[in-house]
Amino acid sequence: MDVTEAHNGAMLSHRLVVIGTSAGGMQPLLQLVANLPADFSAALCIVMHIQASSPSFLPQILDRVGPLPVSQPVDGERILPGRIYCASPDHHLLVEDGRFSVTKGPKENRVRPAIDALFRSAGYSEGPNVVGVILSGLLDDGTSGLWTIKHFGGTTVVQDPADAEYDSMPTSALAQVEIDHRVLSHDLAALLVTLTAEPAPQMGRVNEEERERVAIEISIARTAHAFRKGVMNFGLVTPQTCPECGGVLVQIKEGGFTRYRCHTGHAYTGDTLLLSVTEQTEDKLWVTMRALEEASMLLEHMGRELEAAGKSRLAEAYLSKARQTEDRTRLIFQNIVDNEKLSAEKLARGIEPDS
């Protein structure tokens, strides 16, 4: 199959660092920003999972602890060296041709902003010029994006899982991606200063089909319309459906792991999909329980009315059916109590590692 250069456009004249984190990431970020020098020569972009309904005070918090200016970029803003940029709530932050795209494309791994969306766009746009960093966090957001950065010639860094408050994200990246540097949080600033002072590695070469697929995924994060952009050609159509919209899910193979994207654009890792499906099971059980309770209440009301009208035999039939239906609601409730929200980390607990 033909190969092509990772990206045909001009890269930034300076290095780009992209950082992804969620739970437990605040302390490493504070430590990093406090230890970066005022003459740091790269641009640094951060995606930290935040609630869509709340304003983010991350730029103000980070701005107070270090010498570099921190802001939330606007759509179309140029990416400048010596600055720190934080993703806005409920918006993906993408890197494209030296500028930011701030978009409301489909959620990825149930979140927006998504680490993978930023990393994927940075890897595609900047190739070996980018350094990707995964810090503390739950589940495995960032693994796919870090794989793309490495695939396009960039440098990959993870916080040592033993040093992370929540080790799922760095552990997943270590398992699935070729990692260049595994670092303690207090050493991260010094490592980034060293890496960004060095010349970027040689431009990587990427399979043309792979490059086109990544470009389409970036476009989906920007403007959606996944079906029209050819998402159904990304891989095998699965029996699974999207927990957010019910759309058909397609498998996407990256290295040794599998992701999923639906025909409207929502994307999941296998771990996030598993968690979403098992959470959705509980939601559906509650709906079933509500329907049964409504039926039980209606049967009892009608039975009492028949009883008052002197139609005792028919009334007893209604009341008996009401009791049977109520018994079924108790079984449904027990299923709700017993339902587990599953993830790779939860399933791995207590399991002996493969020999």
Give the CATH number of the domain where residue 44 resides.
3.40.50.180
Low-confidence ranges of the chain (pLDDT < 50): 1-6, 8, 355
Domain boundary residue, one of 149, 180, 197: 197
Note whether residue 310 is domain-resident. Answer: yes
pLDDT at 350: 60
Rounded Cα distance, 124 and 108, in Å = 18
pLDDT at 353: 57
Same domain, 193 and 276: no
Which one is catalytic: 22, 101, 121, 296? 22
Domain boundary residue, one of 156, 175, 197: 197
Same domain, 297 and 153: no
Note whether residue 24 is domain-resident. Answer: yes
CA distances from 4 to 36, 144, 236 (A): 36, 21, 25
pLDDT at 24: 96
Rounded Cα distance, 115 and 42, in Å = 19
Q: Which residue segment(s) compose the domain that 147 sits in?
A: 3-197
The alpha carbon torsion through 192, 80, 78, 105 (nearest 10 deg) reads 20
pLDDT at 333: 86
Tell how many helices (H) and how many strands (E) occur in the chain.
10, 15
Domain boundary residue, one of 152, 169, 197: 197
Note whether residue 249 is domain-resident. Answer: no
22 is catalytic: yes
pLDDT at 340: 79
pLDDT at 9: 57
pLDDT at 179: 98
Same domain, 94 and 191: yes
pLDDT at 2: 33
Q: Based on the structure, what is the number of domains in the chain?
A: 2
Q: What is the pTM of this model?
A: 0.85
Rounded Cα distance, 318 and 246, in Å = 37
pLDDT at 205: 77
Note whether residue 235 is domain-resident. Answer: no
Same domain, 172 and 312: no
Q: CA torsion sign, 166 to 31 to 182 to 119?
A: positive
Note whether residue 103 is domain-resident. Answer: yes
Q: Name the helix (H) or strand (E) containing 100.
A: strand 99-103
Note whether residue 190 is domain-resident. Answer: yes
141 is catalytic: yes
Which one is catalytic: 7, 92, 125, 141? 141
The alpha carbon torsion through 46, 48, 53, 59 (nearest 10 deg) reads -50
CA distances from 89 to 56, 113, 117, 201 (A): 6, 7, 14, 33
Which one is catalytic: 49, 91, 92, 266? 49
Same domain, 190 and 283: no
Note whether residue 58 is domain-resident. Answer: yes
